[in-house]
Chains A and B, each alone.
Chain A
Amino acid sequence: MSIAADALAIHNVCRVFEGAGQRIEALRDINIHIAPSTIVSLVGPSGCGKSTLLRMVAGFDRPDSGAITLGGQPVVRPGPDRGIVFQQPQLFPWLNVHENVIFGPKMRGVAAASYLPAAERYLSAVGLAEFTRHYPYQLSGGMRQRLQIARVLINEPRILLMDEPFGALDYQTRLDMQTLLLDLCASYKPTVMFITHDIDEAVFISDRIHVMSRRPGRIVETFDVDLPRPRRYEDVAATETFMRLKLDTLNLLKGAR
């Protein structure tokens, strides 16, 4: 597979943090290739550098060596072609739901005639069509995450970068959000890089799972998730494939701790 055919290519990336007399090797020789329209999860123990990697793909940080390319183009700075979804929803609290969604395209000078219908479409896709005039403080945790997702989908990004997006939600809401993400992926076919420490979540949503070691973060194993799509949690959660992937991942993480 050539690099240009990948939606995202992370090639031999290393990252070392230095400061206060300390030298922390966060990531060592990371190689990840994400095919278009697939969902790839990174699981690993806390502090394994998975968020550091995601922030480099977002353009918030640079690798010390190695390269990150998006559709063949090197990543140099943050931009709307990568839609980042944080664990703590980073919404604009002074803007209502509708204004939050259109804020990006509006600031970039996109024509209203193009972003207004898109806003309507994505807000109803995430189930917020009834709440366009609400302000973030009036929304539940799950609704805030839905809004965060709509706010990046409207930019039609090449990739969604999701940093433990459902980690702070209660169990039922988390399942709803995972299902919503799969539905959105079925409709809009985005590429997704998903960070989580929830193995169950990784197996349920992903096409491929990379398991990372503790610091310095390396990829110790890659699993392809051979489960049918569309997936329903209640259909796949009890299958042997699901169970085996969960246990294999769990055993690797135990070893990595």
Chain B
Amino acid sequence: MTANSYRAISLATVGAALLVWITASFAGALDPNKFPPVQALWVALTDLVNNGYSGRSFHAQILASVGRALTGFALAVMIGIPVGIWVGRSRLFDAIVSPFLTFMRPIPPIALVPLFTFYFGIGEVSKVSLIFLTAFLYLVVNTAAGVKGVPEDLILASQSLGLTNRQIFFRVIIPAASAQILTGMRISMTLSWTLVVAAELIAAQVGLGFLIMDATTFFRIPYVFIGIITIGLIGLALEGILLALETRLLHWRGK
């Protein structure tokens, strides 16, 4: 089978699932407060778009979450990639920081939410810090692995061509490690997004995580579904953007 026929199968499965849901909706088989029918979602969506939620517009809720995720992620990229390069190039620095990184990595970030809330309050700082920390750890590890993975002979070949150390760093090591750095960015972007929603579930007054938590408390299940679907679509879009960037920048990797 060709790649296209597999894609067709995926589309058909999604289509079938939607069809079952729509049929059940119009047959009146779905309870709006358990698994809502299409109509209930439409009503909820229209209400959200027109009237917002809990005193704030729907797009303000979305932007709050996206803003937190991107802020934490951007800070992690700005600091984590240089630190990762340093870890990858210096055995000494690696020896100093890797025990902490190794210990921190298996801790589920959610376990840190109460502590971060205690330290930084329920405002933006606690959520952005949590996202920053998680994305940072992941980026450092991936960037360092990418830098360490540059073949020693490629560096020797570059020296032999007469490149300076500075040129070897910027023109050889960084591009050679870029594939793994970009993959690390894509995965930590996805992590940042899942994490912001999780953090908002626990302590927030605005955001998609807050919306689904609050709506559940008041049994407004169609709103919960709209929130979850929105989270999923934005997650897909963010991943898609980074994947497209990766494919474009790393075209030289071939298939």
Contacts and interface: CB of A to CB of B under 8 A. Distances in A.
Interface residues of B, number: 21
A58 B251 CA distance: 33
Interface stretch (A82-90, A192-200, A212-220): A82-90
A108 B157 CA distance: 14
Nearest to A93: B252
Given A90-B153, A138-B254, A83 B160 contact: yes
Contact of A90 (B151, B171, B178, B253): B151
B106 interface: no
Interface string B166-196: 0100011001101000000000000000000
B161 interface: yes
B73 to A, nearest CB: 25
A103 B176 CA distance: 15
Contact of A155 (B151, B153, B161, B252): B161
B159 interface: yes
B161 A103 contact: yes
Interface in B238-255: 251-254
Given A78-B156, A88-B153, A90-B153, A107 B161 contact: yes
B167 A93 contact: no
A155 B162 contact: yes
A157 to B, nearest CB: 9
A84 B160 contact: yes
Interface residues of A, number: 29
Contact of B156 (A84, A136, A137): A84
Contacts of A79: 160, 162
Given A79-B162, A80-B162, A94-B175, A107 B167 contact: yes
A15 to B, nearest CB: 17
Given A60-B156, A90-B157, A92-B175, A107 B162 contact: yes
Given A86-B153, A107-B167, A107-B171, A80 B252 contact: no
Contacts of B254: 135, 137-138
A151 interface: yes
A92 B172 contact: yes
Q: Is the interface of B mostly helix, strand, loop or mixed?
A: helix
A5 B164 CA distance: 30
A66 to B, nearest CB: 21
A207 to B, nearest CB: 24
A128 B164 CA distance: 28
Q: Is the interface of A mostly helix, strand, loop or mixed?
A: loop
A92 B150 CA distance: 11
A19 B200 CA distance: 54
A104 interface: yes
Nearest to A161: B160
B64 interface: no
Interface in A64-91: 77-80, 82-84, 86, 88, 90
B163 interface: yes
Contacts of A83: 160
A214 B154 CA distance: 28
A58 B164 CA distance: 16
Nearest to B178: A94
Interface string A102-141: 0110011000000000000000000000000001111000
29 contacts: A58-B156, A59-B159, A59-B160, A78-B160, A80-B160, A80-B161, A83-B160, A84-B156, A84-B157, A84-B160, A86-B153, A86-B157, A88-B151, A88-B153, A90-B153, A92-B154, A92-B172, A92-B176, A93-B253, A96-B252, A103-B161, A107-B161, A107-B162, A107-B163, A135-B252, A137-B252, A137-B254, A138-B254, A155-B161
Given A90-B151, A96-B252, A152-B160, 14 more contacts: A60-B159, A78-B156, A80-B162, A82-B160, A83-B160, A84-B156, A84-B160, A92-B176, A108-B161, A135-B254, A136-B252, A137-B253, A137-B254, A155-B162
